[in-house]
Structure 1
């Protein structure tokens, strides 16, 4: 346990603990730190914290711990390893991406990420037609206006919707989308 705690900041320890026990978000930096320590260290931290709880509470917190770990692995393995507000240098790329998205589709995507609403099959075809870099750039830009969002969960949802949309789009019965504004 001492070896694990020497390589993890107190701040990140609290973030991970708050995420497991209270559902609070974990920053990308702390996720990367946790993953670099390894699952064994996370399991030791959680087991130590669970010692003071009743057996009835433990299964839920162990499940939460697994969810936190999985989100952190997704963040750590992300090519960009973070979702960030679009910089001015990316504005031209964002403008080029916007021609592939209708306003309704953009709203569907944001509502899916923030509220869990469904993204239509037609919108999925637009997303895939625009390509993954546009999908990611659009989400980065959208998150620039939502500073208190759990970026690791957004990344996880973003990958799930991308995979779902690819599956829908490659179906032989579906054709390429037409953009409607």
Structure 2
């Protein structure tokens, strides 16, 4: 039960950080805003949160969200994760997040090919 509470707490922290940082910066950066507008229409909000929880926390992802992620495309995935990881509160662990992002992508490609 403690592990579940810890995962839920991490998810809320990640969601709060994304909500706090992303909208502020995306308005000022037209290219990033365009990426958000273009890429996020390809993926459900639940899957987007799951992907963020995997990369910036210790969550797992469902096969259906993997399919959505692969449909989103590698460029969109990389751009959005890099954009979030560049925030001042996260930059110290950016390389760790980018590795987790690449690992997630490879996992999802494998899942999508086997379906």
* TM-score (normalizing by structure 1): 0.44
Larger RCO (CA within 8 A; separation ≥ 6) = 2
Number of paired residues? 88
Q: Which runs of 5+ in 2 are unaligned?
A: 1-24
Counterpart CA distance in 2 for 1:146 and 1:166 is 30
Query: Are residues 1:114 and 2:51 paired?
Result: no
Displacement, 1:116?
A: 1.2
Larger Rg, first or second structure (1 or 2): 1
Match of 2:67 in 1: 125
Where has structure 1 moved over 4 Å in runs of 4 or more?
A: none
Q: Which structure: greater helix fraction?
A: 2
Secondary structure of 1:99's partner? helix
Q: Which runs of 5+ in 1 are unaligned?
A: 1-84, 175-181
Query: Are residues 1:152 and 2:103 paired?
Result: no
Match of 1:14 in 2: none
Match of 1:99 among 41, 45, 60: 41
